[in-house]
Structure 1
Amino acid sequence: MTPLATTPADILRFALDAPAGEAVLVTLVGIAGSSPRALGAQMVVRSDGDYRGSFSGGCIEAAIVGEARSILRAGESRIVRFGAGSPYIDIRLPCGGGIDLLFTPRPDPGAIAATLARLDAREPAAISISGAGITAARSAATCGWSGDGFLRPFVPSLRIVAMGHGDALVATARLAHFLGADVRALSPASTDVAGLAAAGIAATPIDHRAPPPLRGDRWTAFTLLFHDHEWEEVLLPWALRQPHLHVGAIGGAQSRRDRLRMLRDKGFDEPTLAHFRNPAGLIPATRDPATLALSVIAQIVAAYQADGAGAQKQAAETVGLYD
């Protein structure tokens, strides 16, 4: 199953896989008015014109490719404005805004490889981009200019651990995988495991008597999709005690009451229970698996986006990039 869209890590890998010296990293470093992409969005253009990433719905990509190939020949980085205020008067963004793009020819493959290695290890990373090229950093709290360098932070991909059985689990795991999340599906049903594995999704059988050998982190969401809620006796407390971005479980009113009683009996405090999504999802009382999957995944993605959006917006306002 092909993911829905290109991820930031995919763009870096496209640069790393380019023949030596035949790629340009393009980074969005300034916004005037509005922009379809956020500060720090990136695109990589190869010498043959092939590229990954975008900054609009297709309005300016051809011009960016042409500019990147010209800069690659010249061998010098530069910042180019597109849209409002640009010298290219025939190239405009439909939103009426302007964006400043930093073109970096021949980005250091060692810096890119180090960044990808940190992300693969589920650790935050960053690159600093300047006229001299790019360097890898362990992490950065905000996205924006720092001195003469532009800091572009990266966080590990969203990981979704979906536990359950039947159509609710299968639909949720497939939708999350299509979105591009790192999905781990856990089910007691061999048919669920086999079907998801055939679709390229990491699927593992589970036993209700013991938690799986997984470890959460700040970018991991746990969602329980059991209709037989006896499975939650072990798995839900295990998930809540893991480092996590989100923990949620489906179920009707009586199931929710029973669940909270069980968690209180196991010693969970009220702040933990208040953070727990009970029931999971944004759409109340969903009755079909596809809508349930959409409801649950949308809630998880909102939490993942909120985790980094505040810091990025603060950095942009500091350097005056938002009107």
Structure 2
Amino acid sequence: MTMQQQDLRRAAAAMPGAGTGAPAARATIRASDLPLAVSAGRPAALALILRTEGASYRPVGATMVLGRDGAVAGTLSSGCIDADIAEHAKAVARAGGLRRLRYGAGSPFIDLTLPCGGGLDILVLPAPSADVLADLRARLASREPFSLAVSGAGLSVAPDTGAELVLRVLPDPRFAVFGKGPEAVAFARMVAGAGYETVLASPDSETLAPLAGRGATVVHLPQPSAVEQVALDAFTAGVLFFHDHDWEPAILCHLLASRAFYVGAQGSRRTAENRLARLRAAGVAEADLARLRGPIGVIPSTRDARTLAASVLAEVLAEAVVAG
């Protein structure tokens, strides 16, 4: 432990609300709740939610990052206290140390209210060291879950007996969209517009054109086997929007053999039954076929591309909560 960390630990112990020897609280967040990758530079300070009481707009562990240029990434409320938290973060960035803030019930800031009620405990810390920051960014980029200990001494990916909070950090859902036509375009536009990492893969240049350079990665598929160009992991949803179903078997075999948490394909119930028959004939195991969704979406039998996109997105995100 560095001298700076020791000083921070002593300062934390001297402050109201500091660690009482109780076991660390635990929570799960997504990578986007820890926006350390938004800037190539080193942040100046961090503020994160340690505890909530009652209703809360953001989860325990959600983090605000103050950049050295004064820019702020992340939010800890619906906007009612973020500006004040940012001012405290600037003070910590200038003077060092740390601050513990209470908003809502029991707060000394009686002029700053939480419309949702309840209370928030916020911990404001100086930026992590360059080594810790590089490690965290590498872990976020790897799209693998990891644990993060939070204490008055800062953030640590190593076990910390002084931790007040241990976070399980999960990658954000990513979407691999395969298809041709307006349904594939509408869905890719919707998920990319919502800020999710999106890949649109298609044999059709007219399908790819609306998304090129507009928040999605586009991949041309000259043949179905080219699906191997698209990276997949346990936090990726693979969704097919083909009317030419001859493209589906090779792509679905690849998706079902991957760790993708969701695999689904557009089509009617009859189309879904025919699809399963073709995959069985191709030797796909029943356990893998059980993972395949079809028909897809929470709204049955919709024929509007935008409604279908919203319907499928709702189904995928519900599955993402379970997968997390």
TM-score by length of 1: 0.82
Supply the distance in 1 between the matched residues of 2:128 and 2:39 (Cα, whole angstroms).
Answer: 8
Cα deviation for residue 94 of structure 1 reads 0.9
Correspondent of 2:82 among 57, 61, 64: 61
Gaps spanning 5+ residues in structure 2: where?
1-30
Alignment of 1:54-203 (within 5 A): 54-137=75-158, 147-203=162-218
Cα deviation for residue 60 of structure 1 reads 0.8
The reply to whether residue 288 of structure 1 matches residue 304 of structure 2 is yes
Cα deviation for residue 209 of structure 1 reads 4.7
Q: Paired residue for 1:315?
A: none
**Matched-pair contact (CA < 8 Å) for 1:115–1:125:** no
Runs of 4+ in 1 over 4 A off after TM superposition: 46-49
Q: Paired residue for 1:316?
A: none
Cα deviation for residue 269 of structure 1 reads 4.1
**Matched-pair contact (CA < 8 Å) for 1:249–1:277:** yes
SS of equivalent residue, structure 2 residue 36? helix
Supply the distance in 2 between the matched residues of 1:209 and 1:148 (Cα, whole angstroms).
Answer: 49
Cα deviation for residue 146 of structure 1 reads 6.4
Cα deviation for residue 249 of structure 1 reads 0.5
The reply to whether residue 240 of structure 1 matches residue 249 of structure 2 is no
Supply the distance in 2 between the matched residues of 1:49 and 1:233 (Cα, whole angstroms).
Answer: 51
Partner amino acid, structure 1, of 2:107: S
Cα deviation for residue 211 of structure 1 reads 4.3
Supply the distance in 2 between the matched residues of 1:57 and 1:295 (Cα, whole angstroms).
Answer: 26
Correspondent of 1:8 among 33, 42, 45: 33
Correspondent of 1:27 among 48, 70, 88: 48
Partner amino acid, structure 2, of 1:248: G
**Matched-pair contact (CA < 8 Å) for 1:14–1:44:** no
Supply the distance in 1 between the matched residues of 2:94 and 2:196 (Cα, whole angstroms).
Answer: 37
The reply to whether residue 204 of structure 1 matches residue 230 of structure 2 is no
Supply the distance in 1 between the matched residues of 2:181 and 2:161 (Cα, whole angstroms).
Answer: 50
**How well do the aligned residues superpose, as a CA RMSD in angstroms?**
2.4
Q: Paired residue for 1:17?
A: 41
Identify if the C-alpha distance between structure 1 residues 193 and 16 changes in structure 2 by more than 3 Å, giving closer, same or farther. closer
**Matched-pair contact (CA < 8 Å) for 1:81–1:101:** yes
Supply the distance in 2 between the matched residues of 1:85 and 1:216 (Cα, whole angstroms).
Answer: 47
Identify if the C-alpha distance between structure 1 residues 193 and 209 changes in structure 2 by more than 3 Å, giving closer, same or farther. same
Cα deviation for residue 46 of structure 1 reads 4.2
Moved more, 224-233 or 202-211: 202-211
**Matched-pair contact (CA < 8 Å) for 1:211–1:238:** no
Partner amino acid, structure 1, of 2:33: P
**Matched-pair contact (CA < 8 Å) for 2:200–2:218:** yes
**Matched-pair contact (CA < 8 Å) for 2:149–2:163:** no
Partner amino acid, structure 1, of 2:156: T
SS of equivalent residue, structure 2 residue 37? helix
TM-score by length of 2: 0.82
Supply the distance in 2 between the matched residues of 1:215 and 1:7 (Cα, whole angstroms).
Answer: 20
Q: What is the total number of aligned residue pairs between the two structures?
A: 293
Cα deviation for residue 28 of structure 1 reads 0.7
Supply the distance in 2 between the matched residues of 1:211 and 1:15 (Cα, whole angstroms).
Answer: 33
Supply the distance in 1 between the matched residues of 2:39 and 2:155 (Cα, whole angstroms).
Answer: 13
Identify if the C-alpha distance between structure 1 residues 265 and 136 changes in structure 2 by more than 3 Å, giving closer, same or farther. same
